[in-house]
Structure 1
């Protein structure tokens, strides 16, 4: 193993917990980038002329992850910087984290009885350049829950729902919203751990 500094370019408590529980030594630094501006500047077709809407969203998630990591890498010469981002799409529409409980309720009603996709982008940057990246998807289908159940769920979960783009945490009562989940657990949490750990071993940061 090398002494190469490892930095997570994220303020996400979930991502920090995943890395810490996997035994990694790292620091976390929020890039504080304007994600709305980055999304607005993302040009349609960047994933290819004939890319599907899903592939376009994959490309956007990766673009956001890379931008965050590059911003942190500019101040941390020689370090390996991990950037990650996640976008939710449902029937062709992209969703951001809700800004209010009312918006969270409206989003959950839009997801009700339908599948949605969580698109994750993951990148490692060193000295301002990406040296590795991947995208991953998970598909989750919510059951046709009643509005009474939804209101009870929101009362129990509280403002925690606004910390997640999907307005739920699977490790809590949010799991009751679902009837089917397809995808890796870590992909759902927004940090594909197994391929990341494999690459960190290849980079000599972790023992092989």
Structure 2
């Protein structure tokens, strides 16, 4: 007599987690994201970072973070992609990466004795699921009234020419500052991890 018992279907295997990609070649952002103990790849976003006429620094940071995430997501539609950008805001004037000793000197002379707002935006995009969110972390930094000799010594010692605002707060640049005010401490280094974690969870990623 044939066995008439229903044959149970095998349990569905859990869906594999989506790959995570950091849309940035910044070593600072790579190190910060590494703190979350997540496996991720890195891809260059290749986005034009030229400000638009009259664009406010915060709007520039938000636009570029999202543009970087979309640029990489277009090549990796199944992945969860992080894009980020930082713009130093001195009285509404955007200050980018100096790229040279001369430009860094000029930036630090502009910022001495001033409060600069570092606008750091992070975006998370996944084309496959239609997920897209972006957040901004604003960090207020008050610079000491620096003398020219101090500026020169600092730049020769640390050469922060790839940092918006020409100072590395995680290094010797902390000696240039009077105060830092932020609700997301790693934002000043380049990636606001509290906001990044919030967006990654919203995108469906399980964090440790």
- TM-score bracket, normalised by the shorter chain, equals 0.7 to 0.9
SS state of the match for residue 14, structure 1?
helix
Indicate if the aligned counterparts of 1:2 and 1:204 stay in contact, CA closer than 8 A: no
What TM-score do the two structures reach when normalised by structure 1? 0.85
Assess if the C-alpha contact under 8 Å between 2:57 and 2:92 holds in 1. Answer: no
CA distance in 2, matches of 1:119, 1:179: 18
Q: Is the 8 A contact 2:91 2:116 kept in 1?
A: yes
1:163 and 2:141 aligned:
no
Residue aligning to 2:203:
203
- Aligned 8 A contact 2:124 2:203 in 1: no
Alignment of 1:15-94 (within 5 A): 15-36=29-50, 39-40=51-52, 44=55, 56-94=56-94
Unmatched tracts of structure 1, length 5 or more: 45-55
Identify if the C-alpha distance between structure 1 residues 175 and 73 changes in structure 2 by more than 3 Å, giving closer, same or farther: same
Other structure's SS at 2:69 match? helix
Partner Cα separation in structure 2 for residue 198 and residue 33 of structure 1: 25
**More helix per residue:** 1
1:79-125 CA distance string (max 9 Å, x none): 11111101111122111111310110011000000000101111111
Output the CA distance in 2 between the equivalents of 1:143 and 1:131: 39
Match of 1:153 in 2: 154
Let me know the Cα RMSD of the aligned residues: 1.9
Task: For residue 7 of structure 1, give the secondary structure of its aligned residue in structure 2.
Answer: strand
Q: Distance in 2 between matches of 1:82 and 1:2?
A: 19
2-structure distance, mates of 1:68, 1:43:
21
Q: CA deviation at 1:207?
A: 4.1
SS across alignment from 2:113: coil
In the alignment, the residues of structure 2 paired with residue 175 and residue 125 of structure 1 have an alpha-carbon distance, to the nearest angstrom, of 33
Partner of 2:172: 173
Q: Which runs of 4+ in 1 moved over 6 A?
A: none
TM-score by length of 2: 0.85
Please tell me whether Structure 1 or Structure 2 has the larger radius of gyration of its CA atoms: 2
Which residue number corresponds to residue 100 of structure 2? 100
Q: CA deviation at 1:77?
A: 1.7
Alignment of 1:117-196 (within 5 A): 117-127=117-127, 131-158=132-159, 161-183=160-182, 184-196=184-196
Q: Distance in 2 between matches of 1:14 and 1:99?
A: 16
Offset at 1:179? 0.7
How many residues get paired?
A: 192
Spell out, residue by residue over 1:29-81, the C-alpha distance to the aligned partner (whole angstroms, 9 max, x if none): 01112212xx23x665xxxxxxxxxxx32222111011111111111021111
Structure 2, gaps ≥5 residues long: 1-14
